Amino acid sequence: MKIDTKVIAHRGSKGTRPENTLVSFQAALNDGADGIETDVHFSKDHQLIIMHDETVDRTTNGHGLIYEKNLAEIKHLDAGMRFSEEFKGTQVPTLQEVVQLLIDNQFAGIFNLELKTNKIQYPGIEQAVDEYFSSIHYPFQLIYSSFNARSLEILTNIDPQAYRAKLFKTAAKQAKGLKRSRFIEDFHPDIRWVKRHPYFASAKHLRPWTVNTTEDMQYCFKKNMAAIITDFPARAVQLRAEMRGE
């Protein structure tokens, strides 16, 4: 079976490692993931922090909002112990540290960076991220995504060549409007929504999340979607190989 669908690791190998940490991203690379997905916030001192939630409570031993803490405070947090004692002492990474890991691994796949501006705006974060990537050479394909349409519009104005995708659970009409207006290239919808709306868009423009069950992986692979975003990249890579007859 011809399957070109890429496997993008959601917050790294989130199902097997503490999410959004260097050990999680390295595990995903070791598993053969074609892409890495992660999330970025601003700290109090405007450092680019990699974490999913707006607060540090769920994934670390700390409490409070990211934007109320400076980088030094965040680096003192333990981002591994809530997942397992095995990963006690794991730090919260910065965007720069994640990118350096990818460069060190000579990673040439997809790096999907979600701007977490749908709940907290983080004024200036789009400019900061663009300036950072403009200042370095990197081997991977950079894709920006966000639930916040305004962030995607800001990115378009900053760099019209930036590759952008709209995340959504149900707001398909807004996503279609953004594509018509050329603010985005692709759609990153909830897999549950995709299965209820199978004719929403061409498979080559879809990277659904979070595709974790064998059934959902098979569904996406059979439709030859652009990519899947999964917590279990090793499982997805293996299943894809089996379906290809490799």
Q: Catalytic site residues?
A: 10, 52
d(CA 74, CA 110): 27
Report phi then psi at 51, rounded to 5. -165, 150
10 token code pair: 């959601």
Q: Which residue has the tokens 């959504």?
A: 168
